Structure 1
């Protein structure tokens, strides 16, 4: 009897959490037009994520265009190119010495281990493909998951710094707050066909409203769902968790 009470209580909490996250994405869909993920080639996505460290996506696009024009963005071209050519091509993205070395090393490994074809990895089952990608130098959870979602349409939800920050402020994870717990929370709440759109919407929201330094809480369209906002305003927990998904 006690087991049944606990089971259905936990099930109810999980359902409320799912409804809450679905409502958040529905609200963001009405505000933002998600930009399209332009790059589908897995190696180009990998290079883009390396270039994106500590710079803007405007600079990443410039670096990608120059690298494509001067060297080519495929494992064979990168492996055969001299390091100085790569450095010169990606200079606009900053940290070009370290980034060029990493890009060239990853290209060399992909050529040697996969004959220059990352599709051999992406055709594996999700967890196996993820493990293989994580073996590449400098590839962490986010980079691996971005490749799996946008290049292979695998059912995985990438968590970048914006999504990590938003999730922490919303208070959606009970227990240890880390990448995997946040990823699983969003994956359980959203339909698989919403992973890509939700990922992009949350990044846009994080850049414009839920910023790292000073979040614009008074302008936030999802403030009623946010534990951080409630603590900031000294209010009590709202009834938002009891809401149903809006049409």
Structure 2
């Protein structure tokens, strides 16, 4: 079983090995996640600082880990190293300086404005990063998700990542670009489903204990095998370790065509 990369996907090593069984009558989605767990890892998540996790996930929006990781490191070095409260330090940050600090993450003007706005709200409503951390860890997950989604610049994937990696909430399956593509291509979510519909389908079909590592392992699978334009099955279905569980929606080996599942016949 592979080791999870330390500097991406979960944003760190705050995870614990776990065991998972798909059950006596598993859904197709549960079987897929079970196989992903065998291929990569079976872990539970939780324990990361919630406000830092929120900032990190904002930095990751519309970019890769390769770009967002250095931006996170630079932000923490400038604002987190000597600060008693990261939220307070970022609420008081000069936007131009913050934008320059995180420029490698892309969309830096937009992201710097979002981070300052969120930091100010966290300080006002929760008294700072520690109070926000406690709210995420101890609050009802539905209430936490609703509060996160009420923050301008925070979407469903960002909210769900905070719930999973900071709050350790069971049954949360964040949907990023990889998960959205793979779930629909494999036929475990409707082909035309948007991100929220994919999340609902996966959370309904996958046991709570498996949703967290299902998310991270599916991302890794998308990077290694089920890429957007050149999935491993295109030339040889046997090259994909999940071939027996996949409907290959939008992938036509005969013509070499790969389209979004929503556009498949």
Shorter-chain TM-score tier: 0.7 to 0.9
Q: What corresponds to 1:245 in structure 2?
A: none
Give the structure with the larger helix fraction. Answer: 1
Which ranges of structure 2 fall in alignment gaps of 5 or more residues?
1-23, 255-265
- When structure 1 is superposed on structure 2, of 45-54 and 20-29 the one drifting more is 20-29
How many residue pairs end up in the alignment?
219
1:92-129 deviation digits (Å, cap 9, x = unpaired): 21221221111111111111122223235423212111
Q: Please say if residues 223 and 229 of structure 1, whose CA atoms lie closer than 8 Å, have aligned partners that are also in contact.
A: no
Q: Please say if residues 40 and 150 of structure 1, whose CA atoms lie closer than 8 Å, have aligned partners that are also in contact.
A: yes
Distance verdict in 2 for CA 1:36–1:44, change over 3 Å: farther
Q: Please say if residues 71 and 86 of structure 1, whose CA atoms lie closer than 8 Å, have aligned partners that are also in contact.
A: no
Q: What corresponds to 2:27 in structure 1?
A: 19
Pairing 1:1-247 to 2, within 5 Å after superposition: 18-33=26-41, 40-72=48-80, 74-116=86-128, 117-119=131-133, 121-122=135-136, 123-155=138-170, 156-174=172-190, 177-217=193-233, 218=236, 219-228=239-248, 232-233=252-253
Distance verdict in 2 for CA 1:52–1:231, change over 3 Å: closer
TM-score, length of structure 2 as denominator length: 0.73
Distance verdict in 2 for CA 1:19–1:85, change over 3 Å: same
For the pair shown, which has the larger CA radius of gyration, 1 or 2? 1
Q: Please say if residues 20 and 225 of structure 1, whose CA atoms lie closer than 8 Å, have aligned partners that are also in contact.
A: yes
Structure 1 position 229, deviation (Å): 5.7
Q: Please say if residues 79 and 86 of structure 2, whose CA atoms lie closer than 8 Å, have aligned partners that are also in contact.
A: no
Which ranges of structure 1 fall in alignment gaps of 5 or more residues?
1-14, 235-247
RMSD value, Cα = 2.7
1:27-58 deviation digits (Å, cap 9, x = unpaired): 22333357997981111111111111232212
Higher relative contact order (Cα pairs below 8 Å, separated by 6+ residues)? 1
Distance 1:92 1:180 in 2: 29
1:154-205 deviation digits (Å, cap 9, x = unpaired): 1221111111101111122358613333223222333322221111100001
